[in-house]
Amino acid sequence: MRRPAIPLEIPDSRPNLPESVKTFGILMTTAQKETMGFQSEAKQLLHLMIHSLYSNKEIFLRELVSNANDAIDKRRFAALSDATLLEEGVELGINIDVDEEANTITVTDNGIGMTRDEAVSHLGTIAKSGTAQFLDSLTGDQKKDAQLIGQFGVGFYSSFIVADEVTVESRSATAGADEGVRWRSAGEAEFDVETITRDEIGTSVTLHLKSDEAEFASGWRLRSIVKKYADHVAVPVRMLEQATEEGAEPDYDVVNTAKALWTRSRNDVSEDEYKEFYKLVSHDFADPLIWSHNRVEGKLEYTSLLYIPAKAPFDLYHRESPRGLKLYVQRVFIMDEAEQFLPLYLRFVRGVVDSSDLSLNVSREILQKDPTIDSMRSALTKRVLDMIEKLASDEEQYQAFWDEFGQVLKEGPAEDFGNREKIAGLLRFATTISEGAVQNQSLAGYVGRMKPEQDKIYYVAAENYHTAANSPHLEIFRKKGIEVLLLHDRIDEWLVSHLAEFDGKAFQDVARGELDLGDLEDSDDKAEQEKVEETYKGLVEKIRELLSDSVSDVRMTHRLTDSPACLVVSEDDMGMQMRRVLESAGQAVPESKRIFELNPGHPLVQKLNDEPDMDRFNDLAMVLYDQSMLAEGSQLDEPANYVSRLNKLLLELSA
C-alpha cells in the first residue's frame, strides 16, 4: 500500500523540516516561549533512564509508535460524538522519517494532539503522581527496572536513551492552527515550551540522536524495528521510500501489517506477535504469563484477547485506580479502560474486547445498564478463571502468579458468589506442613490430607506468618497431627467469612469458641476434661474475679500442651485480625471481651493454684494474661505494669 505525499512548500528558514511534517502539511511560527523546570522526581527519573536503565535501546521506537497509536484511537473515539474533530476522508496513520545527515528521527501522527497546557502537564511532570512510586519500586536490577517503565507511563522518556534532545510539536483536535505547541528538552533540568502555528492536527516527536547512536538514523534499521515491535498496530506505520528516479517525488510505504491482531485467526498469529501485542496494549516490558484469544458467535458476537501479566502493576492494590479492557466496537476504538467486562478482583487482566452487538456511541453509563454486558462479563470472567486454572497445572508457574496476584484473587469469593467454589479451588495458603511462609497449599490438597474422622478445615488467623505459626492455639493440633491453615494476609479472615465451606467441609477458627474436635477426641479425653474442670473450679473463680474488667470468662482448656494460657474469641465475636484491619482503616469496631483459657498441665498454672499469697497470685495471674496478649500479637494496655510485675517475680525467684 502506498500513500502519496501531499505537496507543500516549506519556508527556506526550515530546511531540515522532517518529511513527515511535510506530508501532514504543517507550517509553524513561534511565540510565547517559556523555560520551565522538571519536578525533582522527574530529574531523578530522567537521569536514571538516560544513564543506566535501558539495556534494549530500540524499544524507544515501540514506545513512540504505541503513544501515537493511542492518540489516533482517541481522536477516532472523540469524533464519534463530534464529527468536526475528524474530517471525512482523512487517513489516520503514523509516519516515521529519518534524516541521516542531520542524525534525526521524527515520528508523526495525526491523532488527538495536545494543547500547550497538556504538553506541560503530560511531558513536564513525567507520569504525574506515579513518579514517586516508580522510584520507590526500583530494585537496582537493570532488567527488572526496565520492566517497570511502561507501568508508570514514562515510556516516552526512553527517547532520551538515544537522543540528546527531543522536540515535540503538537496541535490538539480541539484547538485552532495558531494554538499549536512546541516542547523541547535535552533531558536535564529544564524544558522549553512555546506556542506555534501548526496547520495539521496531531503530534510530531523529533529525536536528535546522540553521536554514538547513529545506527538508528537508518531507514533499514527502523523498518526492522517496526516489523518486530509494531507490525500488529491497527493503523498504517509509514516510512519514506527512496526515489527511484532523480527528481521524483518521494513516496511513503506502509511498513506494518496494519491489521488489528485480534481480528486475525489464531492460527495466523505467532507466539511472538501475541507477546508484542500485549506489550503494546499494556505498556509492560515483560512477556505475559498466559493469554487467551477467542471469538464468540451466536446470540452474542464478540472477540476477546485476554492476558495475565507476569508482574503486578504498581497500583494493583489501589482499587480506585483506572483498570479494565480496551473496548472496540466493530474494530472502532471506544474506550481505554472499560471496567464493566471483568470484576474488580480480576483487575490485573489486560487485553481487548471487540463487540459487534454494541452501538458506536456507547458510553460508560450505557455499559452499566446494558444486559449484553452482563452476559459478556460472565463469559469473560469464566474464561479468565479457566486461564488461571490452566496456570495451576504447572506448580512453579502458578507460584509465580500467586506471589504477584494471590491477595487480589482472595477478594473474589466476596465479590463473585457464582464463581465462589471455582475461585476457592485456585486459592493457596501456608499451613502447618508448609516450608516457611510460602503460600503453596490448595484447599483441595488440604481436604485430601484430612484425617478420616476430621470434618472441618481448621485455620488460625494472625497479623503475620510468625505469629500464626507460633500461636499457642496450634499446640493440640500439632500433638494430634492435624493440619491447620496459617492465615496471615490482612484479607484472610474476611475471605474465610465469605467462603464458609469448601468441598462440604466448614471452616473452623481454632482461636474461636470452645474447642470441639468431635470424633478426633476419644471418650477418655472428654472424661479427663470434666475432671480437670472440677479440680480447678476454685482457681477459675479467683481469676475470673481478678480479670472481670478485661475478659468475658475464664476456663480450663485442653487446646494447650506447652503454653500456660491463651485468649479465645467468643463464638459470635469478630476475630482479632479483622478487628485490627477495621481499626487501621479508621472504622468503628464494637467492644468485646475475650475468654481467658488456662492449661491445667502447665507448672505455672499448678503453681498459681497452690499460691496462698494473694499479691503474688495477682501478679502471676496478670503476667500470664499479658503473655497471652503478646503471644497473639496484640499490644498491652499497660506494658510498664507488665515489666514491673515480671521483674518483681524474677527477683523473688533469684533471692
pTM of whole model > 0.85?
A: no
What does the pLDDT read at residue 19?
47
For residue 133, give the CATH number of its domain.
3.30.565.10
What does the pLDDT read at residue 29?
46
CA atoms within 13 A of residue 577's CA, in its CB half-sphere = 24
Q: Do 203 and 326 share a domain, yes or no?
A: no
Last residue within a domain, chosen from 381, 401, 421? 401
Q: Do 299 and 201 share a domain, yes or no?
A: no
Q: Do 198 and 311 share a domain, yes or no?
A: no
Q: Do 25 and 93 share a domain, yes or no?
A: yes
In-domain check, residue 196: yes
Q: Do 9 and 141 share a domain, yes or no?
A: yes
Model confidence pLDDT, tens digit, residues 599-629: 999 999 999 999 899 999 999 999 999 999 9
In-domain check, residue 561: no
Last residue within a domain, chosen from 401, 421, 442? 401
Strand runs (DSSP E) across 591-655, as ranges? 594-598
CA distance 442 to 281: 33
Q: Do 82 and 208 share a domain, yes or no?
A: yes
DSSP 83: G
354: Cβ contacts below 8 Å, ≥ 6 apart: 260, 262, 263, 302, 303, 304, 327, 328, 329, 330, 331
What does the pLDDT read at residue 150?
47
Q: Let me know: does 482 contact 520? Beta carbons within 8 Å.
A: yes
What does the pLDDT read at residue 6?
31
What does the pLDDT read at residue 4?
34
- List the one residue out of 185, 11, 203 whose CA is nearest residue 92: 203
What does the pLDDT read at residue 247?
61
Model confidence pLDDT, tens digit, residues 546-590: 999 999 999 998 889 999 999 998 877 777 777 776 766 677 777
Instruction: Domain of residue 303: give its range.
Output: 262-401
What does the pLDDT read at residue 51?
59
Which residues of the chain are under the pLDDT cut of 70? 1-31, 39-55, 125-154, 242-250, 361, 522-526, 581, 583-585, 655
Q: Cell match 508482574: residue?
A: 311
In-domain check, residue 85: yes
For residue 353, give the CATH number of its domain.
3.30.230.80
What does the pLDDT read at residue 593?
86
Q: Do 25 and 158 share a domain, yes or no?
A: yes
The domain total for the chain is 2
Last residue within a domain, chosen from 379, 401, 423? 401
In-domain check, residue 238: no
Q: Do 125 and 266 share a domain, yes or no?
A: no
- List the one residue out of 218, 228, 320, 342 whose CA is nearest residue 277: 228
In-domain check, residue 446: no
Q: Which amino acid is at 507?
A: F
DSSP 51: I
What does the pLDDT read at residue 49?
63
What does the pLDDT read at residue 289?
95
Q: Is 264 exposed, middle or buried (0-12, 13-18, 19+ CB in 10 A)?
A: middle
Q: Do 177 and 109 share a domain, yes or no?
A: yes
In-domain check, residue 280: yes
What does the pLDDT read at residue 650?
87
In-domain check, residue 188: yes
What does the pLDDT read at residue 249?
66
What does the pLDDT read at residue 580?
72
In-domain check, residue 616: no
Model confidence pLDDT, tens digit, residues 405-447: 999 999 999 999 999 999 999 999 999 998 888 899 999 999 9
What does the pLDDT read at residue 15?
38
Percent of the chain predicted with pLDDT > 90: 50
What does the pLDDT read at residue 10?
31
What does the pLDDT read at residue 126?
55
